[in-house]
Amino acid sequence: MLAVADAWQFQFHPEVWLMIAAIVGLGYYVVRVVAPVAAPAGAVVTRRQRLCFVVGVLLLWISADWPMHDIAEDYLYSVHMLQHLLISFVVPPLMVMAVPEWLARLILMEGSRAARIIRRMTHPVAAGVIFNALQGLMHWSALVDLSVRNGAFHYSMHLLMFASALAMWTPVVSPIKEMQLSEPVKMLYLFAMSIVPTVPAGWLTFAEGSVYPIYDHAQRLWGISVTADQQAAGAVMKVLGGLYLWTLIAIKFFRFSAAQRQTDAAERRRRFKDDTLTTADVAAEFERLGPPPAEPRV
């Protein structure tokens, strides 16, 4: 445990820097080496995909490195939950959206055993169950204690959480359209993902005493008590996490509704056009019927 006075003393985490360097290096390799050989002409990486990659890497770095990592591990469980929010709900969809479709098809649509395993793990049911099971397991007191005491275990659990989050977000934002759920099912899927975190959130918010003894220490950063820290952690999970997912659901609902209205309007215009009787239609009908019969002479 570091002293409170050392909370803002820079701590170098070489494993994090190596991880970020490896991700950036992989992205560079894909764009400069793989894309010229494997990407269709004119389809390498879009500006939007580059932006998602850059923002995702920066947020991953912030969540895994000093000072967030050190405050989360040594002082405040609420910051630990903010860290989990970033690596579960924010960074993974950005990283999935950064993958070009041609690269995703190259990785997932081949017949290798690894590709088949990834496709199974990213199935909505499997991905949702694994993700939520890990989310619940992460709040088990023994695992929280071990995570704080053992740095290697801490990073391993975060890596596992991040991988499960990548799988969970794939049915929502996959670059391969046929791997995505329909828009209404996406909304139901995200709603289901918002339910499980509310259980430990409510438990943390209303629990009496210290839930995690490892965070109940005399040195309190910023004077935040252990109870207030637990309540803040519950708020991060329930309010921030829930608001984030519900905002995505609302955005998808309004976009889906707008698309449906446009489709309905186009269908009405087509029907009106088909039902409208024009001069050309009248002339064509007269031509089809031919000249009228001659009137009988009296």
Place of tokens 């389809």: 43
Is 207 part of a structural domain of the chain? Answer: yes
The answer to whether residue 294 scores a pLDDT higher than 70 is no
137 is a domain residue = yes
Q: In the prediction, which pLDDT does 198 show?
A: 82
Q: How far apart are CA 168 and CA 123, in angstroms?
A: 8
The whole domain housing 171 covers 4-278
In tens, the pLDDT along 14-45 reads 999 999 999 999 999 999 999 989 888 777 89
Do the domain assignments include residue 249? yes
**The three-state (H, E, C) secondary structure of 41-99, written as one string:** CCCCCCHHHHHHHHHHHHHHHHHHCCCHHHHHHHCCHHHHHHHHHHHHHHHHHHHHHCC
Task: Band the pLDDT of 293: cuts 50, 70, 90.
Answer: low
Q: What is the DSSP letter of 6?
A: G
- What total of structural domains would you count in the chain? 1
216 vs 128, which has greater pLDDT? 128
Higher pLDDT, 241 or 292: 241
Q: Is residue 294 part of a domain?
A: no
Tokens of 289: 């019927």
Burial of 172 (0-12, 13-18, 19+ CB in 10 A): buried
In a domain, residue 292? The reply is: no
48-59 residue pLDDT tens: 999 999 999 999
pLDDT tens digit sequence for 230-251? 999 999 998 899 999 999 999 9
Q: Which position has the higher pLDDT, 290 or 12?
A: 12
Residue 174 belongs to a domain: yes
- From residue 67, give the alpha-carbon distance in Å to each of 17, 71, 91, 228, 255: 14, 6, 18, 21, 38
- Check residues 273 and 247 and name the one with the higher pLDDT: 247
